[in-house]
C-alpha cells in the first residue's frame, strides 16, 4: 500500500528503533532525562534559540506557545487557512480564552502586512481586545505546502513587533521550508519569538514536537505543558528517535520534494483531474477531480485503494485531494501512484 495521506504515516527508521532501545532515561518532569535534555539542546541550537522544550504533538506545541504569549481575552492574529485556526479543535479559544482574529491567507501561504496592520487594535481603547500575538506557518499545509520566503516572514514579524505584538511560527514543517528554500531554519525564525516543529512528520520520528524560544519563555512554556498534562516522565525513549531525526533525516527530505514534483507532473496530463504542477516545491500536493470524472469522493478513494494507493480528502464536496510524500515512499512508489490515481479518476 502506497500511503500518501500524510507524512505522519512515516515509521521510525532502524537507527531510531535502536536509539530508542538504548536510550538513557530519567524523569523528565524533574529535568533528569538525559536524552530529552540532549534533544532539547539540539533543537534550540538548530533553531537558533536559547532553549527548547519537548512536547507531545505539534498541536500541543502551538497551544503551549499561544498560552504562554497571551492572557485571557487577548487577541491573536492568524491566517484563515492556518493549522491553528482550522485543524486544532479550537484549543486556543476553548482552553486559552484567546480571541482569534483571522486575516486572509494568500495562495502562497503568506498574509499581507497591510492586513496585519489593519487588524491591530488600539491598546488604550477599552472596547477592544489587546492584540498580543501574530501566528505564522511555514511550510503552509493548506496553501499547497508553500515554503514562505525569509523576506516575507521578516516583514510580517517586523510589522507585529512594531505594534507591540509577539510572533509565533507554526513550523511543523520548518525543515521542509529549510530544504526547499535553501535557507537554514534558524534564519527563517530569527525574528520569531517562538517556534514549534514536528519530529513526527517528514522527519519520521514516531512521536514528538519541540517548542523553541528565549529562556524565560521556555520556562513559561514548561509550566503550560504541565498544566495541559504534557509533562511526560521517561520521555527519552521517544526523544531518542528525535535526536536521530535531527541528525539524519533533515537533508533527505529533498528526496520527498522531488517525489512530490514527480507525482504532480505525472498526474497533471490526466484529462480527468486538475492540478498546477508549478505550485509545488515541497512534499505536499493537491489535485481536484474535474467534470469529466464521474466518481464521488468515496468512490474515487475506493477505486484508488483497489489500485494500491491512498490520499487524503481536502474537500469532499469539491473532490479536492491531498497527497504527501515522505520517508518510506520511493520514486518507484510514485510511478505506481501516478498510474493508480490516473486510472481511479478515469470513467
Q: How far is the CB of 275 from ligand PLP (least distance, A)?
A: 20
Q: How far is the CB of 132 from ligand PLP (least distance, A)?
A: 20
d(CA 261, CA 155): 29
Q: What are phi and psi of 239, to 5 degrees?
A: -60, -30
CA of residue 30 relative to chain centroid, distance: 29
Q: How far is the CB of 76 from ligand PLP (least distance, A)?
A: 15
Expressed in percent and rounded to 5, the helix, strand and coil fractions of the chain are 45, 15, 40
Stretch that binds ligand PLP, among 12-20, 55-63, 118-126, 295-303 (CB under 6 A): 55-63
Residues 33, 137, 144, 193: which binds ligand PLP (CB under 6 A)? 137
Is residue 172 near ligand PLP by the rule CB under 6 A? Answer: yes
Vertex 77: Cα angle to 73 and 78 (nearest 5):
130
Applying the rule CB under 6 A, the residues between 187 and 226 that interact with ligand PLP are 198, 200, 209
Cβ neighbours of residue 255 closer than 8 Å, sequence gap 6 or more: none
Nearest to 325 by CA among 315, 317, 336: 336
Residues 83, 166, 272, 326: which binds ligand PLP (CB under 6 A)? 83
Q: How far is CA 218 from CA 65, 132, 196, 213, in A?
A: 9, 18, 11, 6
Q: How far is the CB of 21 from ligand PLP (least distance, A)?
A: 23
Q: How far is the CB of 12 from ligand PLP (least distance, A)?
A: 15
Is residue 141 near ligand PLP by the rule CB under 6 A? Answer: yes
Is residue 57 near ligand PLP by the rule CB under 6 A? Answer: yes
Q: Are 316 and 214 in contact (CB under 8 A)?
A: no
Chain residues binding ligand PLP by CB under 6 A are 57-59, 62, 83, 137, 141, 170, 172, 198, 200, 209
Amino acid at each position: 500500500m502506497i500511503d500518501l495521506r500524510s507524512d505522519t504515516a512515516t515509521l521510525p527508521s532502524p537507527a531510531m528503533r535502536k536509539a530508542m532501545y538504548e536510550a538513557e532515561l530519567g524523569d523528565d518532569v524533574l529535568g533528569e532525562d538525559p536524552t530529552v535534555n540532549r534533544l532539547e539542546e539540539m533543537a534550540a541550537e538548530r533553531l537558533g534559540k536559547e532553549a527548547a522544550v519537548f512536547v507531545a504533538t505539534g498541536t500541543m506545541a502551538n497551544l503551549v506557545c499561544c498560552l504562554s504569549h497571551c492572557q485571557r481575552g487577548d487577541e491573536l492574529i492568524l491566517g484563515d487557512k492556518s493549522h491553528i485556526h482550522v485543524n486544532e479543535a479550537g484549543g486556543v479559544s476553548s482552553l486559552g480564552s484567546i480571541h482569534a482574529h483571522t486575516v486572509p491567507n494568500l495562495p502562497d501561504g503568506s498574509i499581507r502586512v497591510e492586513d496585519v496592520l489593519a487588524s491591530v487594535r488600539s491598546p488604550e481603547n477599552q472596547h477592544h481586545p489587546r492584540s498580543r500575538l501574530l501566528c505564522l506557518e511555514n511550510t503552509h499545509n493548506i496553501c499547497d505546502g508553500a515554503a514562505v520566503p525569509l523576506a516575507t516572514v521578516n516583514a510580517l514579524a517586523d510589522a507585529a513587533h512594531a505594534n507591540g505584538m509577539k510572533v509565533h511560527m507554526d513550523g511543523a514543517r520548518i525543515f521542509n521550508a529549510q530544504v526547499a528554500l535553501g535557507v537554514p531554519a534558524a534564519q527563517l525564525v530569527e525574528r520569531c519569538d517562538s517556534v514549534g516543529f514536528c519530529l513526527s512528520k517528514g522527519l519520521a520520528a514516531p512521536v514528538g514536537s519541540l517548542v523553541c524560544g528565549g529562556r524565560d519563555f521556555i520556562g513559561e512554556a514548561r509550566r503550560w505543558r504541565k498544566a495541559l498534562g504534557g509533562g511526560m516522565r521517561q520521555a527519552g525513549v521517544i526523544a531518542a528517535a528525535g535526536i536521530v531525526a535531527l541528525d539524519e533525516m533533515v537533508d533527505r527530505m529533498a528526496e520527498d520534494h522531488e517525489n512530490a514534483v514527480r507525482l504532480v507532473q505525472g498526474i497533471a496530463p490526466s484529462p480527468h483531474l486538475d492540478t498546477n504542477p508549478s505550485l509545488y516545491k515541497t512534499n505536499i500536493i493537491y489535485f481536484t477531480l474535474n467534470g469529466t470524472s464521474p466518481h464521488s469522493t468515496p468512490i474515487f478513494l475506493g477505486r484508488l485503494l483497489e489500485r494500491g494507493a491512498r490520499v487524503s480528502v481536502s474537500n469532499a464536496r469539491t473532490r479536492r485531494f491531498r497527497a504527501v510524500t515522505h520517508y518510506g515512499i520511493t520514486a518507484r512508489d510514485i510511478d505506481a501512484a501516478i498510474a493508480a490515481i490516473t486510472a481511479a479518476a478515469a470513467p
